[in-house]
A and B are shown apart, each in its own frame.
Chain A
């Protein structure tokens, strides 16, 4: 670990990351760990989480992990998520109902963080990163420790779909908007995430910084194609649902393999991989390893992600890094990569889905979108050094020239 020192030069910098879930396989969990890793280049990073069956301190890689042993009840989180999802589709929420909604959305989410104030007092961190605009209990703990502490919010706002406003019930105390305005800066992964954040950060002087993510295209993925679809210029469809499921992604996948019988269509279900060609199917086992998915992306003609990751649609960026254009739902986070990154197209209904895929099978359109998308992905997501610099700048910490230190 390359921990830096404070202005005095003797004591090491200390940064604290407060997250409700540390070892999560979700995009939110992954990017939280990446941000903590970036901070670890200049500071001792302490992770504080309510998880754990009992309170304790342990070491996790370069991080010091403080488990409070007061895990958040999953029911409370599900209730909050359902409430937020419901409010996403609401044009406005009246003030009269706002306080009730806030109380409802935070029920059971604050108390698990009560032990964090003591941990903060013991560490005296230079900067506190709170992961998630919904992590209101962490904000309360920070205020108990020091109301003037340097707080950076890692938004992780995956509740809003593209272009929709969250409407979290006002900006009063104890709301997500309050947490945003309490922070000195807000880190967002995508531009879309930064738009429409609760609490009007622009009006209150809060700096919103886009940090992207550190991703790369593994060269080994291009060495050999997948054996079920080979090097056939296939359409890759990512569904995240079971093969026999009866829902929208499954129906759209069926539409694609019927509508495009000639180029093979490889469909990644949660329980199987199906390669369709001229009405016949070859079934393989489920794609569980990231390396297998990357290999499929690297050799595909176009990647259709019917359920992009809700935070920053990581699979779409991966596909663009391999030079494979994407087709994504219009109301998903993947749309930013298609629209701003010019790496693909987006659809609002099944008809548009078929047009988009058909258009990208054309060589000229495919090559143009592939080049544009790869350039965008490499520029904004393809450099770990740039990611570290953006995170440190967002947290107000000076970057360390690793080459200088090594020399």
Chain B
């Protein structure tokens, strides 16, 4: 058969001998795991739009106006308007550029925090499972302990009352 015959009674006696002195101790606290950076795979379309469209026009486009005298008048007023509002428009452009950078940084931070929460959730679950297993060991240990104590007390009383030398 390829396997040596096993006598279950002898096997069980061997198990009882091996576990005669049960050992149990609380679990040591786990060391915190280092955060591992993972790439986020979700869509970045909104952020991409911001990156592409944050630069608003800061000067008048003469091609957009109509031709003829009407176009000349519109171009004159357009250039005048942009010249007057130019500094404000450039400030707004800088502001928008910074807001887009902040959005990108916030998204990166959110990704990190999401990963961190998932990691913590898994850590807590793993710890709970390990604690439960250890408590199961404790329950077994406690279950056996009164029996072991009683056997020891029985052995001692026999030794004390018997004719032989006592340890």
Seen from chain A, the residues whose Cβ lies within 8 Å of a Cβ on chain B are: 255, 258-261, 278-280, 338-339, 342, 344-346, 349-352, 354-356, 359, 364-365, 367-369, 371-372
Q: Are B140 and A354 in contact (CB under 8 A)?
A: yes
Q: Are A350 and B139 in contact (CB under 8 A)?
A: yes
Confirm or deny: B84 has a beta carbon within 8 angstroms of a beta carbon on chain A: no
Contacting residue for B5 out of A261, A342, A354, A365, CB 8 A: A342
Q: Are B22 and A339 in contact (CB under 8 A)?
A: no
Would you give 22 A-B contacts (Cβ < 8 Å), ordered by A?
Answer: A255-B136, A255-B139, A255-B140, A259-B133, A261-B133, A339-B8, A339-B9, A344-B8, A345-B11, A345-B12, A345-B15, A350-B139, A350-B143, A351-B140, A351-B141, A351-B143, A354-B140, A364-B3, A365-B6, A367-B3, A372-B5, A372-B6
Q: Give the distance to chain B from A190, nearest Cβ to Cβ, in Å.
A: 16
Using Cβ atoms and an 8 Å threshold, which residues of chain B touch A351?
19, 22, 140-141, 143-144
Q: List residues of B (72-130) whose CB comes within 8 Å of A's CBs.
A: 125-126, 128-130
Q: List residues of B (3-38) whose CB comes within 8 Å of A's CBs.
A: 3-9, 11-12, 15-16, 18-19, 22
Please judge, given known A-B contacts A342-B6, A368-B3, A371-B3, whether A349 and B144 are in contact too, CB under 8 Å.
yes
In the complex, what distance in Å separates the CA atom of A278 from the CA atom of B128? 9
Residue of B at shortest CB range from A339? B8
In the complex, what distance in Å separates the CA atom of A365 from the CA atom of B126? 29
What size tier do the contact residues of chain B reach?
A: 20 to 34
In the complex, what distance in Å separates the CA atom of A372 from the CA atom of B139? 33
Q: Are B11 and A354 in contact (CB under 8 A)?
A: no
Using Cβ atoms and an 8 Å threshold, which residues of chain B touch A344?
8
Residue of A at shortest CB range from B9? A339
Nearest 3 interchain pairs by C-beta: A259-B136, A279-B129, A258-B136
Contacting residue for A368 out of B6, B125, B137, CB 8 A: B6
Seen from chain B, the residues whose Cβ lies within 8 Å of a Cβ on chain A are: 1, 3-9, 11-12, 15-16, 18-19, 22, 125-126, 128-130, 132-133, 135-137, 139-141, 143-144, 147
Q: Give the distance to chain A from B135, nearest Cβ to Cβ, in Å.
A: 7
Residue of A at shortest CB range from B1? A371
Using Cβ atoms and an 8 Å threshold, which residues of chain B touch A354?
136, 140
Q: Are B125 and A342 in contact (CB under 8 A)?
A: no
Q: Are B125 and A350 in contact (CB under 8 A)?
A: no
Using Cβ atoms and an 8 Å threshold, which residues of chain B touch A371?
1, 3
In the complex, what distance in Å separates the CA atom of A338 from the CA atom of B6? 11
Using Cβ atoms and an 8 Å threshold, which residues of chain B touch A339?
8-9
Q: Are A352 and B8 in contact (CB under 8 A)?
A: no
In the complex, what distance in Å separates the CA atom of A359 from the CA atom of B125? 26
- A346-B12, A359-B15 known; 12 new pairs, CB 8 Å cut-off, are A255-B136, A259-B133, A259-B136, A259-B140, A278-B125, A280-B125, A345-B11, A349-B143, A352-B15, A355-B16, A356-B12, A356-B15
Q: Give the distance to chain B from A332, nearest Cβ to Cβ, in Å.
A: 15
Contacting residue for A359 out of B11, B22, B135, CB 8 A: B11
From B5, B12, B135, residue with most partner A Cβ within 10 Å: B12
Q: Are A258 and B15 in contact (CB under 8 A)?
A: no
Residue of B at shortest CB range from A370? B3
Using Cβ atoms and an 8 Å threshold, which residues of chain A touch B12?
345-346, 352, 356
Please judge, given known A-B contacts A261-B133, A345-B11, A350-B139, whether A355 and B19 are in contact too, CB under 8 Å.
yes
Q: Are A261 and B129 in contact (CB under 8 A)?
A: yes
Using Cβ atoms and an 8 Å threshold, which residues of chain A touch B4?
368
In the complex, what distance in Å separates the CA atom of A278 from the CA atom of B125? 8
Using Cβ atoms and an 8 Å threshold, which residues of chain A touch B133?
258-261
Q: Give the distance to chain B from A74, nearest Cβ to Cβ, in Å.
A: 38
Q: Are B5 and A368 in contact (CB under 8 A)?
A: yes
Q: Give the distance to chain B from A154, nearest Cβ to Cβ, in Å.
A: 29
Residue of B at shortest CB range from A335? B8
Using Cβ atoms and an 8 Å threshold, which residues of chain B touch A365?
6, 11
Q: Are B125 and A352 in contact (CB under 8 A)?
A: no
